[in-house]
Amino acid sequence: MSIPPKPCYREHHRPQFHFSPRENWINDPNGMLYYNGLYHLFYQYNPSDKAWSNMHWGHATSRDLLHWEERPVALHAEPEGLGYIYSGSAVVDWHNTTGLQQGEHPPLVAMFTHSSKWNRQVQSLAYSVDGGDNWQMYAHNPVLENPDLEDFRDPKVFWCEQQQGWVMVLAAGREVQIFRSANLKDWRYCSSFSAGAMGGVWECPDLFPLPVGDSELSKWVLLLSINPGGPNGGSATQYFIGDFDGEHFHADDDEVRWLDYGTDNYAGVTWSSMPQGDERRIMIAWMSNWLYANHVPTAPWRGAMTVPRELKLLPAAHGLCLSAAPVAELASLRCGAAVEVRDMLVERRQSLATAPLADTLDVELAIANGGGQASSWQLCFANAGGEQLLLQFDAAAGELSIDRSATAHQMAVHDGYMRKQVAPLQPAGDSAVGLRILKDASSLEIFSSDGRSLLTALYFSRAPLDQLQLSPLDGNTALLLERVAISELRSIW
Ligand code: FRU
């Protein structure tokens, strides 16, 4: 008897240009690297259910950071042994420092946390000798024992040119610990770093250098996810900017900085290798929040990733700030005629498109700021059923916010879903506020102030939100819409 084909990747709420698994649960992205023409993405995966449990590493590959092909599970849990496969990273061991190379390919080595039934967390290795298709456990795991900490996990490993050795950052209680190794197997503790927001468990650190603006100067950035304790509830990622001497990280100041103020950008880490000549630092994050991740109304899968984002260090109100923008590749998914409007005076609620909009959108918007025009406004994604997803720019309060409470669906019972999400505005010297919005069936990613103010939020509406309206918020004042361009994005499936 043949099994009828599933209407795969076309389900209600299914992201069309973000990675999500065909079925079952995913959370953190893990082990991202580029090797031999392929970008690899691994992720926390439960192959048997769409709830968090039974962690394995799922695997997908892409040639362009956009179209992903799901591969067989890469790392299998060992429930009776060292345990489940929690988050971690992977590198290309170009110099065969591990001695694991068997043929023409350098070993690809994953370092991850084994978490046992007894919640004992240790760090282990797995490797591939065929360029990333097949993975096997290292025979002498673990390579780093637990010093008796409940939370001791999520190793991120990188090659340090300056020191000609491997460096690992690891979340250990409410510290990031730094270790060094010559061969990825024997690790020496160097230092601990602790600062910033302490409201929750520390998870998924990442450490990397970035140029400051367009200058020759570079700074080190330490990413650290915490759960709970995020600025709008639940999980969020903070970061520190400073210096790294190969063994110690020193932050420039004690300001608490959040990567993204939306509730649905968590556990983001960056690619550990990129194609030769590509200097970009690309991050991907899990698009959900531990507050409600296990309850989002999707089937047969649960969980998706953000779009890959390019990170930069830009000047901001207080020193520097980490900015993010969708990778340039994304624009190649634009299809259909873009709705484009220029210099429109908006005095009351105004529809920005006459025909129903697609469910996958890339919207660019510039609205005059000051100069007698309204500097506070509201954008509303809506549908004929009365559902609304609101984005507000409030210049007086210095805030950008998302309110998804009028798209409640089954999520209404979750306080974390109903609460308004607020991001402080980066002061814009410019005369117009520029925004880029990616909307994909059940997610909104907002990049404003050149990617210095970010809001990423899932939403679950009963029907697609196919209208877009703009209205001034300052009483009778009109606002000047300098430009809006709305493009539909092609599905990657
Ligand atoms: C972060 C996290 C990690 C852990 C993994 C388990 O979301 O809690 O710290 O390794 O998820 O799935």
153 lines ligand 1 (CB under 6 A): yes
pLDDT of residue 6: 57
In short, whether 13's Cβ falls inside 6 Å of ligand 1 is no
Which residue's CA is the nearest one to ligand 1's atom 6? 86
Question: 287 C-alpha to center of ligand 1: Å?
Answer: 13
Instruction: Find out whether 391 and 438 touch, Cβ atoms under 8 Å.
Output: no
Q: Which atom of ligand 1 is nearest to the CA of 115?
A: 10
Beta bridge partners of residue 170, listed in sequence order: 177
- Distance CA(456)–CA(306), nearest Å, equals 8
Q: Is 486 exposed, middle or buried (0-12, 13-18, 19+ CB in 10 A)?
A: buried
Residue 391: predicted pLDDT:
98
Residue 214: which residues within 8 A CB-CB, separation 6 or more? Answer: none
5 CA to centre of own chain: 32
- Confidence check: pLDDT of 3 > 50: no
Q: Could you report the per-residue pLDDT of 362-375, keeping only the tens digit for each?
A: 999 999 887 666 67
Which residue's C-alpha comes closest to atom 8 of ligand 1?
203
| Residues 388, 146: Cα–Cα separation, whole Å | 48
Question: Which pLDDT tens digit goes with each residue over 415-426?
Answer: 889 999 999 987
The SS3 call for residue 51 is coil
Looking at 8-12, 29-33, 61-65, which range is the least confident one? 8-12
Q: Is the CB of 87 under 6 A from ligand 1?
A: yes
* CA–CA separation, 16 and 363 (whole Å): 16
Summarised one tens digit per residue, pLDDT across range 165-192 is: 999 999 999 999 999 999 999 999 999 9
Here the tokens at position 73 are 């599970």
Pocket test for ligand 1, best of 24, 149, 153, 237 (most atoms within 8 A of CB): 153
User: Which among 28, 93, 206, 264 is annotated as catalytic?
Assistant: 28
Q: Which domains does the chain have, with CATH numbers?
A: 24-326 (2.115.10.20), 330-489 (2.60.120.560)
- Residue 469 CB–ligand 1 contact under 6 Å: no
Strands 108-115 and 388-394, sheet pairing: unpaired
Judge whether 489 and 296 are in contact, CB under 8 Å: no
- Would you tell me how many other CB atoms lie within 10 Å of the CB of residue 269? 26
Does pLDDT of 472 surpass 90? yes
Asked if pLDDT for residue 122 goes beyond 80, the answer is yes
Q: What is the pLDDT of residue 1?
A: 42
Distance from the alpha carbon of residue 362 to the mean position of ligand 1, in angstroms: 30
> In the predicted model, what is the mean pLDDT of the chain?
94
Are residues 420 and 390 in contact, defined by beta-carbon separation less than 8 angstroms? Answer: no
147-170 confidence digits (pLDDT tens)? 999 999 999 999 998 889 999 999
Distance CA 487, CA 358 (A): 9
- Return the closest-CA partner of residue 75 out of 119, 38, 111: 111
The answer, yes or no, to whether residue 212 has pLDDT greater than 70, is yes
CA of 46 to the centre of ligand 1 (A): 13
Q: Are residues 483 and 338 in contact, defined by beta-carbon separation less than 8 angstroms?
A: no
Q: Please say whether the beta carbons of 437 and 365 come within 8 A.
A: yes
Q: Where are the beta strands (DSSP E) in 161-214?
A: 165-172, 175-181, 188-193, 201-211
Q: Which pLDDT belongs to residue 371?
A: 66
Of residues 153, 129, 135, 151, the one with CA closest to residue 58: 135
What is the distance in A from the centroid of ligand 1 to the CA of 86?
A: 6
**Environment class of residue 262 by beta-carbon count within 10 Å: exposed (0-12), middle (13-18) or buried (19+)?**
buried
Opening angle at CA 442, ends 439 and 445, nearest 5: 40
Distance in angstroms (rounded) separating the CA atoms of residues 346 and 344: 6
Q: Which atom of ligand 1 is nearest to the CA of 290?
A: 7
Q: What is the DSSP letter of 441?
A: S
Cβ–ligand 1 contact at 267 (below 6 Å): yes
Reply yes or no on whether 28 is catalytic: yes
Q: What is the average per-residue pLDDT within 51-76?
A: 98
* Cα 203 to averaged position of ligand 1 atoms, centre (Å): 7
pLDDT at 214 over 90: no
User: What pTM did the predictor assign?
Assistant: 0.96
